[in-house]
Amino acid sequence: MVYVYDGSLEGAFSAIYQMFHDKGDVNSHTLVASEGLQYAIFEPVKTCETQPEWSNKVVQSILDTFGPEAFRRIGYAYLSEDAAFGTKLYRCLKRAYKLGERAMENLSDPDILALYKCYNAVARESHSMMGLIRFSELNKGIYYAHFEPTYDLLGLVIPHFKARLADQIWVIHDTKRKKAAFYNKETVHISDLDDVGALDFSSVEMDFQKMWRTYFDHIAIIERKNPKLQQQKMPKKYWKFLTEKDLSKNLLK
């Protein structure tokens, strides 16, 4: 049996409620988002409508049984955009309710470990992004940063930059998902945003970029370059967002 939900986290929790109610078999029943729906032609399909009441019951049960940290991990795992997230969540919860309140710490269990890996991948990249996201000052005094994270991290990095750049107007643009966070020194709102094209940097920003490239060029010791270590610390997929990217093509290749 394939259970289908609308792709939202609330929808996933609603479907989980339905699957528990149906006593779905963990080995043969799967939970997939409607957008990526694939199944055998003769396989039965059940579409689960998003029901806030059902979703809230599942959320409260998770919080009461396993605590807020377990719920946080599930939220992070959802942001991994893993096509099998729904199935992994269902199997994890089925196993966890059998093991008890500390079940989410039992990483020796394959079903719990599968969901934990989704969480951990998101947590690690979000931590890295807080140090890798680069802001540039535009002519209108707005600080703009763009990035293309593997996972849907925009909501996770906002609190860090809201606290660190509280006195600035800024935009963080996830160009992969075509959405951005806009901060006006008071509140943040997230909205769709397509490619912004060529950026109109301020004269001060242009000077700083030039100085940074010069500094980067002069401190580089070609004889001691270590591409493997450099790519480990700064994965190549992030290079195009670096101010020194033109130099990095030569120094880090």
Q: Percent of the chain having pLDDT more than 70? A: 94
Instruction: Report how far apart the first and last C-alpha atoms of the chain are (Å, whole number).
Output: 49
Two structure tokens written together for 60: 């409260």
CA–chain centroid gap for 211, Å, is 33
Task: Name the token pair of 127.
Answer: 């931590």
Beta strands in 84-204 (DSSP E): 136-137, 143-147, 170-174, 179-183, 188-192
CA distances from 90 to 28, 161, 198 (A): 12, 34, 45
144 burial class (0-12, 13-18, 19+ CB within 10 angstroms)? buried
Cα gap 210→207, rounded to integer Å: 5
Look at strands 2-5 and 45-47 and give their pairing.
parallel
Q: Quote the mean pLDDT of the chain.
A: 91
Share of the chain above pLDDT 90, in %: 72
Q: List, for residues 168-214, the tens digit of each pLDDT value.
A: 999 999 999 999 999 999 999 999 999 988 889 999 999 999 998 88
Q: What is the pLDDT of residues 69-80, one digit of tens each?
A: 999 999 999 999
Predicted model pTM: 0.87
Query: Residue 75 contacts by C-beta under 8 Å, 6 or more apart in sequence?
Result: 9
Contact 66, 96 (CB under 8 A): yes
Q: State the Cα–Cα distance between residues 137 and 202, nearest whole angstrom.
A: 6
